[in-house]
Amino acid sequence: MRIEQELKLGFKDVLFRPKRSTLKSRSQVNLTRDFTFKHSGRQWSGVPVIAANMDSVATFDMAAALAEHNVMTAVHKHYSVDDWKTFIDGADSKTLNNVMVSTGTSESDFKKTQDIMAMTDEIIFICVDIANGYSEHLVEYVTKVRAAFPDKVISAGNVVTGDMVEELILAGADIVKVGIGPGSVCTTRVKTGVGYPQLSAIIECADAAHGLGGRIIGDGGCACAGDVSKAFGGGADFVMLGGMLAGHEESGGETVEKEGKTFMKFYGMSSESAMAKHSGGVAKYRAAEGKTVLIPFRGSVHETISDILGGVRSTCTYVGAARLKELTKRTTFIRVQEQENNVYGKE
Ligand code: 5GP
């Protein structure tokens, strides 16, 4: 047994130190990033926020709505090939350009990804996603997907340490997805005791990925726009959001009426709800590692995403970053033991 003594940080442990700046207004801040990806050589330009591949978040409707803001959606993996065909036939180029096709690592997942990618050249992202990215099986699968799709942008995860980021990039991933345990409906830390505070995971994994010309997605744990900024400040190239985008018209959750108010069901992809819906229940050998919650219905996602991006722009003005790309260079985090003042309750 070993103990690492260095304290690892979550979003709640830091704040940005403000810096002198010549920026007068948040309208002067450009959140668009231009990436050329390591293996595929593909280019993408947009606002690097991604709706998480959960079936009560990342629907086709969400993809169309967020694309209007140049924001991406990792469409969940439970649509059929026929559903994809209908979507692709009706979607504009901008939407398709901002979509990731999510997949697990089974033979049938591979076949399905092939079928979907064969329908259009306009989708360039594949998101290979398993809860425990430390499995050798993921590395082998990424190698196989890279060989089959040499010119597609491949994201793989989830992991939280630099060694595994490097291994996945060397196996063919352009982007590595980072986060184990921080999610709003995740119970992995309670059920297994495994995890890594998300800000430290981002800082360490970004360093490892950038050294090899790869990119990372900070996935999970953002509860407010300030957290999204902190993820970017820590070095995340992309930030993935589940809970912050759940509960909207476009999220595809089931609505529930309770005491005259409308709520929407939101659940983890390893929760009992998700397993009952997609795999006929929780298998005997495993425990559910996600929970189901009801969140107040929030209407259309447009206002929410504008609010989030407005917050990130504002962070940039406080630290003097004219472009999102500069945010991490302009970031000094201070360690804190307080966040917001809740004397009148939470936002
Ligand atoms: P959020 O933005 O809601 O904090 O986190 C979203 C992320 O939580 C997802 O992208 C995914 O990585 C993770 N996640 C989603 N469902 C589950 C689950 O059932 N169990 C665990 N451990 N993580 C989940």
Give CA 299 to chain center in angstroms.
Answer: 21
SS3 state at 50:
strand
CB 270 within 8 A of CB 181: no
Residues forming beta bridges with residue 126, ordered by sequence position: 101, 154
Exposed (0-12), middle (13-18) or buried (19+): which is 20, by Cβ within 10 Å?
exposed
Active-site residue list: 186
d(CA 23, CA 28): 7
Exposed (0-12), middle (13-18) or buried (19+): which is 113, by Cβ within 10 Å?
buried
> Which amino acid would we find at residue 241?
L
Q: How far is the CA of 95 from the centre of ligand 1 (A)?
A: 24
Decide: 13 in ligand 1 pocket, CB within 6 A. no
Per-residue pLDDT of the chain (347 residues; tens, 9 = 90+): 999 999 999 999 999 999 999 988 889 999 999 999 999 999 999 999 999 999 999 999 999 999 999 999 999 999 999 999 999 999 999 999 999 999 999 999 999 999 999 999 999 999 999 989 999 999 999 999 999 999 999 999 999 999 999 999 999 999 999 999 999 999 999 999 999 999 999 999 999 999 999 999 999 999 999 999 999 999 999 999 999 999 999 999 899 999 999 999 999 998 988 888 888 777 777 778 899 999 999 999 999 999 999 999 999 999 999 999 999 999 999 999 999 999 998 77
SS3 state at 271:
strand
What tokens were used for 237? 């190239």
Q: Look at ligand 1, atom 21, and give the residue with the nearest C-alpha.
A: 186
Q: How far is the CA of 157 from the centre of ligand 1 (A)?
A: 12
Exposed (0-12), middle (13-18) or buried (19+): which is 24, by Cβ within 10 Å?
exposed
Residues forming beta bridges with residue 45, ordered by sequence position: 34
d(CA 21, CA 327): 12
Q: For strand 292-296 and strand 261-267, is the pairing parallel, antiparallel, or unpaired?
A: antiparallel
SS3 state at 13:
helix
What tokens were used for 148? 């089959």
Q: Which atom of ligand 1 is nearest to the CA of 223?
A: 4
What is the pLDDT at residue 196?
98
Q: How far is the CA of 266 from the centre of ligand 1 (A)?
A: 11
Closest C-alpha among 143, 96, 103, 145 to residue 124: 96
What tokens were used for 256? 């529930």
CB 28 within 8 A of CB 322: yes
Residues forming beta bridges with residue 216, ordered by sequence position: 176
d(CA 252, CA 231): 26
What is the pLDDT at residue 188?
94
Alpha-carbon distance values, 91 to 61, 63, 86, 87, 264 (Å): 10, 9, 9, 6, 26
Would you say the pTM of this structure is higher than 0.95? yes
Decide: 188 in ligand 1 pocket, CB within 6 A. yes
Q: Look at ligand 1, atom 10, and give the residue with the nearest C-alpha.
A: 52
d(CA 280, CA 241): 27
